[in-house]
């Protein structure tokens, strides 16, 4: 009986999906507006009801197939809710009733998502209704999903399954955060979510490229290259940040074992974006790159949000241990998972890890809409092409900078978590540098005042000189036990760190050169301004490199009560952020150097006549067709 009911539900859902597809395809290619009529409308309505009813009955069939659940009266002892009462009637009601509304709202979401990209001849009223249904259904999907899945909370095993293995000693086997794969092919949900996130980025970006250039598939090669380099960058950044903790005394081949986990978004996004831009420049030279990055880069936030779901199954990206009471508004299965430790064991009843993965996922989705709507549209009057991409780095850097201090110590990057915080601040500075570069470049092309370039260089170099007051060197023993901290100025003027002193003197000289460029800018001697900015940039670059590579033990010969040979010396906030600010100060000089190089390139290889005009004419034709 249970099997028969389940088969009936699957047939009902299958029929509903088929009816929905037929109705949506018919309406998408018709000229009816604002709503589908007759046959198309009936197919869509029957499809929505078929999917929703079938899914709800299917959940009822699952409960019917597990009669032992009716005998469960309390949560298991190894969960956060240990000993709390389980009301079977309540949980089966949650599962059946809200599964209907979840399937209905989910079907409405994807139906309108499909029409948003495929509907031909949308008038203003139809488009507005489609937007209301599309975006309005998103919070309903989330709410109903949390409610209906909470009906299964007391009956699941924790930690939840995080993947499976095929082959090896055990053949087929499920994998969890407590039970790792023992050989064969290991498929992790984390990897599946990452790949799905990439496809979401591609689908959205491809649609906008089609609207502008009238062609699908322009991003195929760019997406593949960007994804591959993103994975490489994510692993490289993880290995560099955690070298002392995980790889210093391990087999060097472990650095390539990405199947054991260890990818960081901060490195992956940066490597992927750079590789994608270079590939686009080579493979699609006629594409407006700055427009393209403003379309593609914000979608990375959606991929990051989806990827964080994989962290949930892996029991990682945890915050500090807190009481569950303030978090009971979340689904019970999520809280039960947050009560599990990564690698084995559970917290005491009533305690959970703060779900940082969930907070970051939500902020990433909010950031996506903020970049597209606020920066891309509402602030369009004051922005330039490329600013949305720069704002992505700022947004994500701010999010991570806020979250890193709340991270569980077991998931720190580096020995004192300075690596993660510095990378977060680095993202913010990269975003600022990107925006400054685009604005300065446009000003240069428009032959506007060169004065802001000197002011930018002065601002960042001057600010950097104060950073050594902060902790600049951390001394640790073991994996993350801090035994001593040193501020930068105590090292610079100790007489034992000549490289650090040289770096600081070069930064002073860079400030002097930047001030000299300001003097020439006020005198309107633009060529001299550029030469002095080049000089400041060279000294800033050398200073930054010395700060990064010249840490070592900074001349420290002994640490009271410790064996110097057993200690690790790590670059910390002061010197690292000083170096980052010095690198941002290079932006004006880099812009002018790039402009000079492009002018020289066009002199020796002038563009063919007529090409630019024909391309502009083609874009105008495509735009008029879309309208």
pLDDT of 181: 73
16/95 same-domain check? yes
Whether residue 255 has pLDDT greater than 80? no
Tokens in use for 189?
A: 């949900």
Tokens in use for 228?
A: 């591959």
195/208 same-domain check? yes
pLDDT in tens, 95-142: 999 999 999 999 999 998 888 877 766 777 778 888 889 889 999 999
What mean pLDDT comes out for the span 570-589? 89
152/192 same-domain check? no
pLDDT of 532: 94
Q: Checking DSSP bridges between strand 471-477 and strand 351-353, what pairing results, if any?
A: unpaired
Q: How confident is the model at residue 324 (pLDDT cuts 50, 70, 90)?
A: very high
152/182 same-domain check? no
- Give the residue carrying structure tokens 């000197």: 454
What is the distance between the alpha carbons of residues 32 and 410, in angstroms, rounded to a whole number? 58
Distances (CA, A) of 86 to 42, 94, 146: 42, 13, 17
pLDDT of 393: 92
229/349 same-domain check? yes
Domain C-terminal end among 364, 392, 427? 364
Of 236-240, 339-343, 352-356, 418-422, which has the strongest mean pLDDT? 352-356
Q: How confident is the model at residue 595 (pLDDT cuts 50, 70, 90)?
A: confident
96 versus 30: which is more confidently predicted? 96
What mean pLDDT comes out for the span 480-487? 78
163/140 same-domain check? no
Of 91-100, 157-166, 341-350, 553-562, which has the strongest mean pLDDT? 91-100
What mean pLDDT comes out for the span 85-103? 95
Residue 386 lies in a domain: no
Return the minimum-mean-pLDDT range out of 228-237, 450-459, 534-543. 228-237
Residue 428 lies in a domain: no
106/176 same-domain check? no
pLDDT of 16: 92
- What is the percentage of the chain residues whose pLDDT exceeds 70? 86
Of 117-126, 225-234, 359-368, which has the strongest mean pLDDT? 359-368
Whether residue 32 has pLDDT greater than 70? no
Q: How confident is the model at residue 154 (pLDDT cuts 50, 70, 90)?
A: very high
What mean pLDDT comes out for the span 243-247? 64
Q: How confident is the model at residue 624 (pLDDT cuts 50, 70, 90)?
A: very low
Residue 359 lies in a domain: yes
pLDDT in tens, 411-456: 666 555 677 788 888 889 999 999 999 999 888 888 788 889 999 9
Handedness of CA 124, 127, 133, 139 (dihedral sign): negative
Peptide linkage before 34 cis (omega within 30 of 0): yes
Residues 277-307 as b or e (16 or more Cβ within 10 Å = b): bebbeeebeebeebebbbbbbbbbbbbbbbb
Residue 383 lies in a domain: no
At residue 210, φ and ψ (nearest 5 deg) are: -65, -40
What mean pLDDT comes out for the span 292-321? 89
Q: How confident is the model at residue 306 (pLDDT cuts 50, 70, 90)?
A: very high
pLDDT of 554: 63
Whether residue 51 has pLDDT greater than 50? yes
What mean pLDDT comes out for the span 301-312? 91
pLDDT of 618: 46
What mean pLDDT comes out for the span 35-45? 76
223 versus 570: which is more confidently predicted? 223
Mean pLDDT score across all residues of the chain = 84
What is the distance between the alpha carbons of residues 619 and 211, in angstroms, rounded to a whole number? 10
Domain C-terminal end among 315, 330, 364? 364
Return the minimum-mean-pLDDT range out of 113-117, 161-165, 565-569. 565-569
What mean pLDDT comes out for the span 566-570? 76
What mean pLDDT comes out for the span 50-64? 92
Whether residue 616 has pLDDT greater than 50? no
Structural Rg of the chain based on CA atoms: 29
70/135 same-domain check? yes
Q: Checking DSSP bridges between strand 161-166 and strand 185-188, what pairing results, if any?
A: antiparallel
Q: Are 393 and 584 in contact (CB under 8 A)?
A: no
pLDDT in tens, 457-477: 999 999 999 998 888 888 877
What mean pLDDT comes out for the span 209-228? 86
Residues 347-375 as b or e (16 or more Cβ within 10 Å = b): bebeebbbbbbbbbbebbbebbebbbeeb
Residue 274 lies in a domain: yes
* Number of compact structural domains in the chain: 3
Q: Which helix (H) or strand (E) segment is 116 a member of?
A: helix 88-118
Q: Which helix (H) or strand (E) segment is 571 a member of?
A: strand 567-571
Residue 384 lies in a domain: no
Whether residue 353 has pLDDT greater than 50? yes
168/121 same-domain check? no
114/199 same-domain check? no
Q: Checking DSSP bridges between strand 321-323 and strand 351-353, what pairing results, if any?
A: antiparallel
What mean pLDDT comes out for the span 495-523? 90
What mean pLDDT comes out for the span 51-74? 92
Q: How confident is the model at residue 361 (pLDDT cuts 50, 70, 90)?
A: very high
Q: Are 588 and 440 in contact (CB under 8 A)?
A: yes
Helix crossing, 573-584 with 498-522: angle to 10°? 30
Domain housing 164? 157-364
Residue 443 lies in a domain: no
Domain C-terminal end among 327, 348, 364? 364
Return the minimum-mean-pLDDT range out of 24-33, 169-178, 287-296, 580-589. 24-33
Residue 453 lies in a domain: yes
Q: What is the 3-state secondary structure (H, E, C) of 255-286?
A: HHCHHHCCCCHHHHHHHHHHHHHHHHHHHCCC
Whether residue 623 has pLDDT greater than 60? no
Q: In what order do the strands lie in the sheet with 185-188?
A: 173-176, 161-166, 185-188
Whether residue 600 has pLDDT greater than 80? no
457/537 same-domain check? yes
What mean pLDDT comes out for the span 477-504? 80
Distances (CA, A) of 597 to 93, 590, 592, 594: 69, 10, 9, 5
Tokens in use for 585?
A: 């100060």
136/213 same-domain check? no
Of 142-156, 165-179, 477-491, 569-583, which has the strongest mean pLDDT? 142-156
Distances (CA, A) of 200 to 215, 277, 298, 391: 18, 19, 12, 20
What mean pLDDT comes out for the span 573-600? 88
Of 236-240, 551-555, 587-591, which has the strongest mean pLDDT? 587-591
At residue 165, φ and ψ (nearest 5 deg) are: -120, 150
């Amino acid at each position: 009986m249970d099997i028969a009911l389940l088969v009936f539900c699957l047939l009902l859902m299958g029929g509903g999906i088929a009816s929905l597809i037929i109705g949506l395809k018919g309406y998408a290619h018709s000229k009816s507006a604002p709503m589908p009529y007759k046959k198309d409308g009936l197919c869509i309505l029957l499809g929505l009801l078929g999917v929703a009813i079938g899914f709800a009955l299917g959940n009822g069939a699952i409960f019917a197939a597990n009669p032992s659940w009716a005998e469960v009266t309390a949560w298991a002892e190894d969960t956060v809710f240990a000993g709390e009462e389980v009301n079977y009637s309540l949980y089966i009601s949650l599962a059946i009733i809200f599964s209907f509304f979840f399937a209905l709202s989910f079907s409405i979401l994807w139906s309108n998502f499909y029409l948003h990209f495929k509907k031909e001849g949308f008038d203003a009223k139809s488009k507005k209704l489609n937007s209301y249904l599309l975006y309005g259904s998103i919070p309903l999907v989330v709410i109903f999903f949390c409610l209906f899945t909470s009906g299964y909370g007391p009956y699941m095993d924790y930690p939840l399954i995080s993947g499976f293995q095929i082959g090896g000693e055990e053949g087929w086997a499920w994998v969890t955060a407590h039970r790792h794969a023992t050989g064969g092919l290991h498929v992790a949900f984390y990897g599946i979510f990452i790949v799905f996130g990439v496809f979401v980025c591609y689908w959205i970006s491809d649609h906008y490229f089609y609207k502008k250039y009238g062609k699908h598939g322009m991003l195929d090669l760019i997406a593949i290259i960007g994804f591959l380099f993103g994975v490489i960058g994510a692993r490289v950044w993880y290995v560099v940040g955690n070298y002392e903790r995980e790889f210093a005394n391990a087999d060097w081949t472990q650095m390539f074992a990405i199947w054991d986990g260890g990818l960081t978004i901060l490195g992956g996004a940066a490597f992927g974006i750079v590789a994608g831009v270079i590939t686009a420049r080579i493979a699609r030279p006629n594409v407006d790159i700055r427009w393209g990055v403003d379309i593609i880069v914000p979608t990375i936030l959606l991929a990051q949000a989806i990827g964080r779901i994989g962290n949930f199954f892996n029991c990682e990206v945890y915050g500090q241990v807190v009481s569950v009471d303030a978090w009971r508004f979340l689904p019970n299965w999520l809280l039960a998972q947050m009560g599990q430790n990564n690698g084995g064991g559970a917290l005491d009843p009533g305690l959970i890890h703060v779900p940082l993965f969930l907070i970051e996922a939500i902020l990433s989705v909010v950031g996506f809409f903020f970049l597209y709507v606020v920066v891309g549209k509402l602030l369009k009057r004051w922005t330039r092409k490329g600013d949305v991409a720069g704002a992505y780095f700022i947004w994500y850097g701010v999010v991570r900078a806020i979250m890193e201090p709340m991270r569980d110590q077991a998931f720190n990057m580096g020995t004192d978590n300075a690596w993660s915080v510095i990378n977060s601040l680095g993202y913010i500075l990269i975003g600022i540098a990107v925006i400054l570069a685009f604005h300065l470049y446009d000003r240069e092309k428009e032959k506007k005042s060169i004065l802001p370039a000197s002011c930018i260089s002065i601002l960042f170099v001057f600010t950097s000189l104060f950073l050594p007051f902060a902790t600049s060197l951390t001394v640790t023993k073991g994996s993350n036990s801090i035994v001593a901290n040193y501020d930068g100025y105590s090292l610079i003027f100790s007489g034992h760190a000549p490289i650090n002193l040289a770096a600081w003197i070069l930064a002073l000289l860079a400030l002097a050169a930047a001030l000299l460029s300001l003097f020439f800018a006020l005198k309107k001697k633009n060529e001299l301004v550029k030469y002095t900015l080049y000089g400041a940039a060279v000294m800033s670059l050398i200073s930054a490199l010395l700060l990064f590579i010249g840490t070592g033990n900074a001349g420290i010969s002994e640490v009271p009560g410790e064996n110097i040979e057993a200690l690790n010396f790590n670059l910390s906030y002061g010197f690292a952020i000083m170096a980052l600010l010095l690198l941002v100060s290079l932006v004006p000089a880099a812009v002018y150097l790039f402009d000079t190089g492009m002018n020289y390139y066009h002199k020796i290889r002038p563009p063919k006549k007529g090409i630019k005009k024909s391309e502009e004419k083609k874009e105008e034709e495509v735009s008029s067709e879309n309208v």
